[in-house]
Chain A
């Protein structure tokens, strides 16, 4: 029916790019005349067109085999960079998710940034992300994926830095850019190193190559680790996780997109690269270890945060850690399912919390409370998002975690146990945030808190509805496991771990038995989590400090040793010139000419004498 829409699915990333270019027209001069809003509307329209196109293409594509389109980008000196676009149900489905969430974020921003003047920049950056992510899922090639990831790194810098006159925003943008860039450069090293081995960057061809590849295990490990580092930066994994926390200084509507799908770009590449990573068991083990540390650490840190956006952002790191674990054990489908369920639930959570931040002025959890009586719609949406995130049947998070836990159960029971702990902690974390927001008594910051305008409330409730309907969608897509095949022990354990975490969080933060604010008995441990394992300090004293030191040292050497030597020679020759000038006209040019000529003559004579000897000796020899 819509066959031509499938054929032209490559247009989906183009629409937002057009919107981005159009919003460039709203530079300050025009904004003064029209106000900033038209730039946002233009982008919302192009995103809606993208959404519609990808949705119709998905309907047409469903159940068919993937189609491939090629575009010759660059062919030089034996290197053939041909872009292969994969149009399959999976990739178009991912585009639907991206476009849908971006559309929601754009509508949300209409309300959230009502008073802001930077619409053109903001919407242009959202469009860049939308286009980049759609391009990423379409292109079936590591090289082009790397290119897009790197462009998105720049996008992160500009998107976080929208409110650039606040100092925390500036440092946040800087750290986000540099941290991601570190990951990207490792990825670039991996990209460079992989080509001589495999001779291709095409994901499908890499998978075929990896089946029979005979690579030196040490090399395979190094390449695999480099390839792992790129997604680590994108997914905010330890130790490259700090940027996501600092990125919370950016506007909240961008957080909707970032916390749900932008972080998942790393997971996407990781899933695509799984066959290559699997060449080295060490790499897989490292992936599991990084994922486990991040998931466990992220949930613990999240529990200790008093900033609502940060409490959520560490959960994002934690869930991306789960995708690392999933890829590490070879469960790529589980990884993608986690990405899907997490994206929708997290978007809903972020929209609900933003709805509270906007008209309560503060995002400090300790200053909020008692909002249930004031904000029931937001509260219900938050509950939907929270329950959709953790493994509570029948919502989405349950099925994705079940798939992973089920897959690890036979061979890695320890990981399954770890998943239960992480899930319980995550459940505790969302219950805590809920309790601090909606439980307790009203206070001066929350006593006047109506529900927001429709541009904020509508996307939020829509997100909640999407979370609640996700199981039905999953079932239609036959992504749910067969009842008979399901591992009921694991399912029960997961459910109980969620119930345990949620109820414990509810008891602690909704009940009156424990004095607020709640803290751990040992101050040091509390601070360790609250200050993110002191990662900023570790950065500053290690990598940042050493780069700073080396650059100062280089500068010193440059100034006083290399240039100092030159100036010394200069002074000496001026001195020589001073003594000579009595016999000369005093023209600098003449000196220079004399010096140059003399040096040339000496140089030639010297080299000639050596060279003639050499040739003689060679001739003799």
Chain B
């Protein structure tokens, strides 16, 4: 069952290469639609009361290396799996029908989808890493072939950053295996590791840097604006909606899952990091003049909320963080898509040039209305999917980190500021009659946006459909975290037990 989610797109990518050019789009839609339907089947058969892994699959592969083909799904990966298959379908739907080299494009998109699904499903550290690196190549090609003017710079930057991310992740995994003298990379066999706290902190630190680049968190984010802006719309949707989630998934699955003690120790710093990311992303977004870049920076800010929820280590905060991953994926996809439509119709992304698109006769009224909705969803207006996940994060983390949480709340206010700037400049104002001869917005332009909008509204009004999938898993994850005595400061843990600087001298007793 789970293997199908990985191998249908990958084999489909090959199949598309054999189709005639004109049929490539249809093939892509059918394959990604089938994968989406299959993921819904998994969703419907998922046992909500079971916090552990379900639908296990196991094939021995290279046992001497400890590398086995082990797949399973739990509440954390389930929602992301469905998000991935949905956004893949949406990405193919949003692709221009007359795109160049369609077979390669759709094939690469499906390859990305399969790789990401594999990473979400893998229960073996090395297998995860293989899939984690696998999607890099198609992404690199997708950006560097179909991107904007500066695409080769952006693609190279993307590849460099994410390759380094992979290095850190691999280093941490290998370190864990060698230190625990484990004979296998199986995730569950490593769960009960009893490494000293200092080593855990070091390994977790490497993971945080590795996945922090992927998410990205400030200051590892500079690849993001360039890459998102240069990528074409469908690729940007996948980058923001799916690839970034690979990072947050990794942090939760491996950071929090494998090193709970160290995570608890680092939590206050993580919360500060989150607050900085949120404020930084929002502040940088306010200063942008390019609407796509603005949306890209907004994504950096929103990733901070996920980290904040994880840092809180409360059941509420973590389930909120997982819902935020989904909500952010949907909202960002909608925003990137609408920005893409505006760019395609108006031929411009500059805030200072765009104006009055809400004009009912000669503007893009429906696209503008949806943009208002998307921007407001991102700004956390209640009744839309973004609000409830942010609220759960805030309520969960307030009890633990009040100051950081309040800063994050200020961050949502700043989010509203830049979205109002964006909407005021693009949708409101007076349309320039001399230049406003835009191509008509067709129904096929609207359909992907309407699907995403419907989901955002539905999950906002009925949030239990957003949180129910992951609730038991995240609750169990939080319960697995040992309660540390808060009195030992992090420096002491590192200084005395860890770095071995004059052992015994500083240690009391």
Cβ A611 vs Cβ B202 within 8 A: yes
B439 is an interface residue with CB less than 8 A from chain A: no
B351 is an interface residue with CB less than 8 A from chain A: no
Q: How far is the CA of A174 from the CA of B372 in the complex (A)?
A: 13
Q: How far is the CA of A260 from the CA of B214 in the complex (A)?
A: 51
Chain B neighbourhood of A600, CB < 8 A: 166-167, 170-171
Chain A neighbourhood of B77, CB < 8 A: none
Expressed in whole angstroms, the minimum distance between the Cβ of B390 and any Cβ of chain A is 10
Contact of B428 among A147, A154, A161, A181 (CB under 8 A): A161
A193 is an interface residue with CB less than 8 A from chain B: yes
Q: How far is the CA of A562 from the CA of B281 in the complex (A)?
A: 13
Q: In this complex, which of A170, A182, A195 has the most chain B Cβ atoms within 10 angstroms of its Cβ?
A: A170
Contact of B424 among A76, A170, A615 (CB under 8 A): A170
- Known contacts A189-B406, A192-B409, A547-B417; is-contact A570 B467 (Cβ 8 Å): no
Cβ B170 vs Cβ A554 within 8 A: no
Q: How far is the CA of A157 from the CA of B198 in the complex (A)?
A: 52
- Known contacts A554-B280, A604-B175, A608-B178; is-contact A164 B358 (Cβ 8 Å): yes
Chain B neighbourhood of A615, CB < 8 A: 179, 196, 199
Chain A neighbourhood of B356, CB < 8 A: 164-165
Which of chain A's residues has its CB closest to B317's CB? A77
Cβ A27 vs Cβ B409 within 8 A: no
A476 is an interface residue with CB less than 8 A from chain B: no
Describe B's contact surface by its main secondary structure.
helix
A563 is an interface residue with CB less than 8 A from chain B: yes
- Known contacts A77-B315, A192-B405; is-contact A617 B413 (Cβ 8 Å): no
Contact of A547 among B286, B424, B427 (CB under 8 A): B286
Cβ B474 vs Cβ A77 within 8 A: yes
- Known contacts A74-B463, A554-B280, A618-B198; is-contact A79 B360 (Cβ 8 Å): no
Which of chain B's residues has its CB closest to A177's CB? B420
The contact string, 1 if C-beta is below 8 Å from chain B, for chain A 160-173, is 01001111011101
- Known contacts A76-B392, A170-B429; is-contact A178 B416 (Cβ 8 Å): yes
Q: How far is the CA of A31 from the CA of B360 in the complex (A)?
A: 10
Cβ A151 vs Cβ B381 within 8 A: yes
Cβ B284 vs Cβ A27 within 8 A: no
Expressed in whole angstroms, the minimum distance between the Cβ of A601 and any Cβ of chain B is 9
A584 is an interface residue with CB less than 8 A from chain B: no
Q: How far is the CA of A393 from the CA of B94 in the complex (A)?
A: 67
Interface window among B3-11, B62-70, B492-500: B492-500
Interface window among B155-163, B231-239, B337-345, B483-491: B155-163
A62 is an interface residue with CB less than 8 A from chain B: no
Expressed in whole angstroms, the minimum distance between the Cβ of A179 and any Cβ of chain B is 11
Q: In this complex, which of B358, B366, B402, B424 has the most chain A Cβ atoms within 10 angstroms of its Cβ?
A: B424
Cβ A151 vs Cβ B428 within 8 A: no
Expressed in whole angstroms, the minimum distance between the Cβ of A224 and any Cβ of chain B is 16
Name the interface size band of chain B: 35 or more
Contact of A154 among B361, B381, B417 (CB under 8 A): B381
Expressed in whole angstroms, the minimum distance between the Cβ of B279 and any Cβ of chain A is 8
Chain A neighbourhood of B394, CB < 8 A: 188, 192
Chain A neighbourhood of B315, CB < 8 A: 77-78
Contact of A566 among B157, B360, B504 (CB under 8 A): B157
Interface of chain B residues 162 through 205 with chain A (CB within 8 A): 163-164, 166-168, 170-171, 174-175, 178-179, 196, 198-199, 202
Q: How far is the CA of A54 from the CA of B390 in the complex (A)?
A: 35
Chain A neighbourhood of B467, CB < 8 A: 74, 76-77
- Known contacts A174-B424, A613-B500; is-contact A558 B284 (Cβ 8 Å): yes
Cβ B402 vs Cβ A193 within 8 A: yes
A592 is an interface residue with CB less than 8 A from chain B: yes
The contact string, 1 if C-beta is below 8 Å from chain A, for chain B 217-242, is 01101110000000000000000000
Chain B neighbourhood of A158, CB < 8 A: 372
Q: How far is the CA of A552 from the CA of B383 in the complex (A)?
A: 32
A595 is an interface residue with CB less than 8 A from chain B: yes
A523 is an interface residue with CB less than 8 A from chain B: no
Contact of B398 among A78, A196, A570 (CB under 8 A): A196
Q: How far is the CA of A542 from the CA of B497 in the complex (A)?
A: 49
Q: How far is the CA of A210 from the CA of B394 in the complex (A)?
A: 24
Cβ A28 vs Cβ B365 within 8 A: yes
Cβ B360 vs Cβ A596 within 8 A: no
A218 is an interface residue with CB less than 8 A from chain B: no
- Known contacts A28-B361, A76-B316; is-contact A607 B196 (Cβ 8 Å): no
Which of chain A's residues has its CB closest to B288's CB? A555
The contact string, 1 if C-beta is below 8 Å from chain B, for chain A 541-574, is 0000001101111110010001100100010000
- Known contacts A178-B420, A599-B164, A621-B504; is-contact A185 B409 (Cβ 8 Å): yes
Expressed in whole angstroms, the minimum distance between the Cβ of B84 and any Cβ of chain A is 23
Cβ B199 vs Cβ A592 within 8 A: no
Q: How far is the CA of A394 from the CA of B388 in the complex (A)?
A: 49
Expressed in whole angstroms, the minimum distance between the Cβ of A278 and any Cβ of chain B is 23
The contact string, 1 if C-beta is below 8 Å from chain A, for chain B 297-324, is 0000000000000000011100100000
Interface of chain A residues 514 through 564 with chain B (CB within 8 A): 547-548, 550-555, 558, 562-563
Which of chain B's residues has its CB closest to A158's CB? B372
Cβ B388 vs Cβ A74 within 8 A: yes
- 23 A-B contact pairs sorted by A residue (CB < 8 Å): A74-B388, A77-B471, A77-B474, A118-B360, A154-B376, A164-B427, A165-B356, A165-B430, A173-B428, A178-B420, A188-B394, A192-B409, A193-B398, A550-B283, A551-B283, A551-B284, A553-B283, A558-B280, A566-B157, A600-B166, A600-B167, A614-B198, A618-B196
Chain A interface (Cβ within 8 Å of chain B)?
Answer: 27-28, 31, 73-79, 117-118, 146-148, 150-151, 153-154, 157-158, 161, 164-167, 169-171, 173-174, 177-178, 181-182, 185, 188-189, 192-193, 195-196, 547-548, 550-555, 558, 562-563, 566, 570, 588, 592, 595-596, 599-600, 603-604, 607-608, 610-611, 613-615, 617-618, 620-621
> Given A174-B424, A555-B288, list of 7 further CB < 8 A pairs?
A76-B471, A562-B222, A588-B156, A596-B166, A604-B170, A604-B174, A613-B500
Among all A-B residue pairs, the 8 with the closest Cβ atoms: A617-B500, A555-B287, A551-B286, A77-B315, A147-B382, A164-B428, A554-B283, A563-B222
Chain B interface (Cβ within 8 Å of chain A)?
Answer: 156-157, 159-160, 163-164, 166-168, 170-171, 174-175, 178-179, 196, 198-199, 202, 206, 218-219, 221-223, 280, 283-288, 314-316, 319, 356, 358-361, 365-366, 372, 376, 381-383, 387-388, 392, 394-396, 398-399, 402, 405-406, 409-410, 412-414, 416-417, 420, 424, 427-431, 463-464, 467-468, 471, 474-475, 497-500, 503-504, 507
